[in-house]
Structure 1
Amino acid sequence: MTSLVVVLFVLAALPQAPLPLPIGTATIRGHVVRTDGPPLARAEVRLLSTDKPGPPRVAMTDESGGYEFATLPAGRYTVTASKTGYVALEFGQDRAFEAGQPIVLKAHETRERVDIALPRHGAIMGRVVDENGEPLEGVSVSVKEMRLLGGRRQLVSVPGVLPRQTNELGRYRVYGLQPGDYVVSAEVGQVGSDDLPGYPVTYFPGTINPVEAQRIQIGLSEEVSSVELALTPVRTARITGRTFTSSGEPFQAGVQMRPSWRSTGAIAEAVGARAQPDGGFEFSNVPPGDYVIQAFKGAEIGWQFVTVNGADVTDLAVTTLPGSTIAGRVTFEGAETPAKRDLDIVPAPADPDQTAFFGTPSSAEIHDDWTFEITDVSGPSRLRVTRAPSGFALKRVIVNGLDATDAVMPFGAESQSVVDVEIVLTREVTRITGTLSDARGAPAASGAVIAFAEDRERWYQGSRFLAASRPSQNGSFVIAGLPPGAYLVAPVDRLPDSDGWQDPGFLGVLAAKAMRVTLSDGQQLAVNVSVIGR
């Protein structure tokens, strides 16, 4: 009996082979070429069924750029081609970020000339000079994107696009860019000292605030030249200090710093400090500005704000917090308790400057009796239900007997823990349903519909008053679970990357053309909307 158990255990531990792809009688053939005509050999072509979930089929083009997918079941497919140095496109896609043309196959059908022309990547070129107009050699020039991540504007690196150094003429060329909007920055590096002025990170056309940077738009295969940055020297300073635990003991921690969101309106990349075993740390060559310093070790984390104006800042103390605990129970208003605990409760950060520079917030551990606990919580936060059991939505959050549904609560110290929290879920779920149509009145399978509160005070990170839905193939969409209130509903031809659609500036533009609706508890509302551009 023992040997049988061992054999079964070994068999269960073996990796499982993927399920075989379904076999049919249809075929798709085509070629991948450059936009100027020549074929592209060894391009990757992916075929994905939009009717049935599953892995894509992959083919590589031959020397003539040709490819073939055979033995396909009848159905609807998308075909995408990609190759290093080129912009990936779907079949029938005329512009970047637009949807391609689905291919509908019948049994025994052979679809020929499913051809895709790939444009080359774009590039940005220019020059970096000093305050006298003289070229600067060896300057690092980076191209980044300004995205809304977690409800906050952040400068993020472009995948596959590396910083480039200027030559002896101060010239640079950054390539490999997909169509989009970019921010260009120049950084000399660690050249500042008490005696020698340094150059701060400068964004085109000549600002140290990333939010004030001028966006550079790159189209398909477009090269933008004459992007010149003039660097102006400033007197840099040192920041020194020491890190302490919540009990007041000095200790060596990870210490990082970045410009304060309060002063820039955007989150920039963090830089690390030289940390000492006695808890001491130092940042050198810091240009004027407002900064937030973060110290962390294990679950403990702390922040300190500092303003630099050219003079050294010394003896700064950064004290970490042990983290608070949030505990309570989940109740179900007017409904039986669901069988599955399909529920996620998280403390959504409310202050970008008092949020961990990296990682995501802790989520609740849900117990069998629907009690829950969240540990190691630091920084101002709102309690959010990011996933609820099917058919349920958040009704209210009660803390110590008071309604705290959308309240910002301070966390970090043990004294800021809350252990009498009630998360009330309800089956009175609001729903906005409808059909999204294109400019011709036909159902639109691409694009999206956004619903957002009419009250602009509710356009914040993690707001439960914002929602978006992509339509199905027949153009139908559903937005469920919004709280009762007045909303604006607007269609868009595409959603910005990540959660950029939650940007208050983006929503403000949509508000001018949006449809106004009002939702009450459990209301089911039907609307029909037509696609508009961004």
Structure 2
Amino acid sequence: MRRLLPILAAVVSVTAAAAQPPTPATLATPATPATTSGIIRGRVVGADGRPVKQVVVRVLGTTVRMQRGGLTDENGRYELKDLAGDTYTITINHSRFFAIDTARRTPSAGKRVTLRNGEVLEHVDIVVSRTSAITGRVTDEDGEPVEGAQVQALQLRFANGRRQLIEGGRSRGTNDLGQFRLYGMQPGQYVISVMPATTGTNRLPGYALTYYPGTPVVAEAQFVVVEIGHDRENVDVRLSPGRNARVSGVAIAVDSRPFNGSVILANSQRSGGLSAPPRQLPVQADSTFDIPNVPPGEYVLQTFVLTGDQDGQFAMQYVTVGDQDVKGVTLRASRGSNLAGRITLEGDASDVKPSAFSMMPFPADFDLAPMTGNGYRAQIRADRTFDMKGLFGPTRLNLSGAPAGWMIKTVRSGGIEVTDTPLMFGRPNQSLDDLEVVLTNRSGSVSGTVADARGQAVTDFVVIVFATDHDRWYRESRFLKYALAEPDGSFDVRALPAAEYFVAAVDWMQPSPGFGEWQDPEILDALSRRASRVTLTDGQRVQLSLKLVPR
């Protein structure tokens, strides 16, 4: 059985993935700008100052998107060559270490530096901390050890408009004493899951998937909090006899042929609360599917397959699971809607080609649209037209590619403004061919600096700009953006529409484009009480001096 990471989100590893040691050379080489003679050198050291060897160091440019990487030597030194002038973010990758901010003892999203053409930057050092471990024991209802059970840490993340559990690395088996050790854990909140062996000599029939400390229901699980530099011990899980249900049925393609794809089971958006990782299984040759070990809850079943030329077939069905098996579920696929439109460029577009822009559909309800995404990114043609196929569910249009400072100003259908209104797709008769998208570079921006409570300048922070209107706090909202601190301690958040905003500088957060706790309404609500407030008109640029908000 395979598991599916959260939908349309960049793949996140909540532990630093153990890397196969590459040679100390370039790991990636995109298109090379004219001048690539810059060099960044430094060391990777522990909090005690000792060098850390065999650490993968990577650098990613902001403008040219250049990537380079290499390994630290025995003295912890690294060297990244052939770099163009740009602002770079430097990160590390190792199964036993992660970068930290030494002043606040918090995880670091990466060190940012500005490199001029041909410059050599020295002493760009990175301080790391060791990852932690979670240890415990799995027993049955009589306190007897359970051998061969698979134990996994699921980290709490905010994605797709809800709190979800994301697989936090490889599962580990229990030994003959029922003991387990999950290592390489970064700070965070985790739920521990235990799956008894279903085959082999350690097979344990009559027991279901269980969450710490001993419940089959993920919403009743207790969190295990991992802090920097501390292991968590005695995280013991007790199994109890019982079984979870099975969900089975058939998936039928549009032409009534067997469905050549997979079925996905996930906690539905309507269920609320905590969501376990989705599960994905193949549909069999006779169109049947069978999903074992499903705990009680509200779920959505989906199938999706691309059929060529970015078209696809999709089906979904809500399923309520209790103590009994759910049989006879029918997923009958349909073809989606099509969308065609044209863009208009407002502002100084003399040096901009239409091909520099791309549009992407983004679902407003992940139950009603393919969880895996349809993979569609519409490139704008020379005549400024675009089209999309295979759209399902309530959808907003996002600008997935654009020159700096450009944003969506207005979207109209049939002369009616629908800029921030989800458009309903799913059937051929819901297709649209008259979409008008106005793009502009007359966007607002918020920039400035950040100081701590003592008035001292801060150079490592995350700034979140979000509308004061709570209804605009949805994922991929154009009224919700973040920015990391620039190397000189400044920040600049661009492409903001006219609106009233909260602006908060947070001492620690690990945001990612498209998802992360910076989009969590509860986090935003808490930040709003300590945030600055600013009103932007069209194209207005505002400078602020912010006070750091500690987490």
TM-score between the two structures when normalised by the length of structure 2:
0.78
The 5 A counterparts of 1:386-465 are 386-465=400-479
Q: 1:343 aligns with which of 357, 367, 370?
A: 357
Residue pairs, 1:11-410, within 5 angstroms: 22=37, 32=45, 35=48, 42-44=53-55, 46=57, 58=70, 60-62=72-74, 65=75, 67=77, 86-89=96-99, 95-98=105-108, 119-158=129-168, 161-188=169-196, 190=198, 198-210=206-218, 213-249=221-257, 251-273=259-281, 275-298=283-306, 299-333=312-346, 339-341=352-354, 342-359=356-373, 361-410=375-424
Question: What letter is aligned with 1:202?
Answer: T
| Unpaired runs of at least 5, structure 1 | 1-14
Secondary structure, aligned partner of 1:415 = helix
Q: CA deviation at 1:201?
A: 2.9
RMSD: 4.2
Residue 162 of structure 1 and its aligned partner are, at CA, apart by 1.9
Secondary structure of the residue that 1:227 maps to in structure 2? coil
**Aligned mates of 1:480, 1:29 — CA distance in 2:** 31
Bigger Rg over Cα:
1
SS at match of 2:424: coil
CA distance in 2, matches of 1:94, 1:333: 44
The Cα of 1:279 is off from its aligned counterpart by 1.9
Instruction: Give the whole-Å Cα distance in 2 for the aligned partners of 1:521 and 1:79.
Output: 31
Rounded to whole Å, the distance in 1 between the matches of 2:439 and 2:77 is 52
State the shift of 1:171 in Å: 2.0
Name the SS for the 2:334 alignment partner.
coil
Compared with structure 1, are the counterparts of its residues 209 and 484 closer, same or farther at alpha carbon in structure 2 (3 Å cutoff)? farther
Who is 2:12 aligned against? Answer: none
More off after superposition, 86-95 vs 486-495: 86-95
Matched, 1:532 2:549: yes
- Hey, what does 1:7 align to over in structure 2? none
Per-residue CA deviations over 1:1-20 (Å, capped at 9, x if unaligned) read xxxxxxxxxxxxxx999999
Q: Name stretches of at least 5 consecutive residues in structure 2 with no aligned partner.
A: 1-29, 307-311
Quote the Cα distance in structure 1 between the aligned partners of 2:35 and 2:446: 39
Q: Judge conservation of contact 2:44–2:128 (CA < 8 Å) in 1.
A: no
Contact 1:243 1:252 in 2 (8 A): no
- Whether the aligned pair in 2 keeps the contact of 1:448 and 1:492 (CA below 8 Å) is yes
Q: Of the candidates 510, 520, 528, which is equivalent to residue 537 of structure 2?
A: 520
Q: 1:375 to 1:76 in 2, by over 3 A?
A: closer
Give the Cα–Cα distance (whole angstroms) in 2 for the partners of residues 92 and 283 of structure 1: 47
CA distance in 2: counterparts of 1:71 and 1:485, whole angstroms: 43
- Note if contact 2:53-2:76 (Cα within 8 Å) is conserved in structure 1: no
Give the Å deviation of 1:227.
1.0
Deviations 1:254-298 (A, max 9, x none): 223223232254443333446333322222343322221112332
Identify if the C-alpha distance between structure 1 residues 396 and 102 changes in structure 2 by more than 3 Å, giving closer, same or farther.
closer
For the residue of structure 1 that corresponds to 2:233, the secondary structure is: strand
How far residue 304 of structure 1 moved from its aligned partner, in angstroms, is 1.1
Q: Deviations over 1:389-436 (max 9, x none)?
A: 555432221112222111122222211111111112245422222222
CA distance in 2: counterparts of 1:111 and 1:232, whole angstroms: 58
In 2, distance between residues paired with 1:263 and 1:338?
49
Structure 2 counterpart of 1:502, which letter? Q
Give the Å deviation of 1:305: 1.2
Deviations 1:139-171 (A, max 9, x none): 21101222223444332223xx42112233322
The code of the aligned residue for 1:385 comes to L
Mark the CA change 1:58 to 1:246 in structure 2 (over 3 Å): closer, same or farther: closer
Amino acid at match of 2:527: L
**The residue matched to 1:357 in structure 2 has which SS?**
coil
Q: Do 1:129 and 1:135's aligned partners in 2 also have CA atoms closer than 8 Å? A: yes
Letter in 1 for 2:478: R
2:544 counterpart SS class: strand
The residue type paired with residue 146 of structure 1 is: L
Deviates more, 1:91-100 or 1:346-355: 91-100
Aligned mates of 1:364, 1:71 — CA distance in 2: 35
8 Å Cα contact 1:239-1:313 kept in structure 2: yes
| Contact 1:270–1:357 (Cα < 8 Å) also in 2 | no
Deviation at 1:447, TM superposition (A): 0.6
1:120 Cα deviation from its structure 2 partner: 3.4
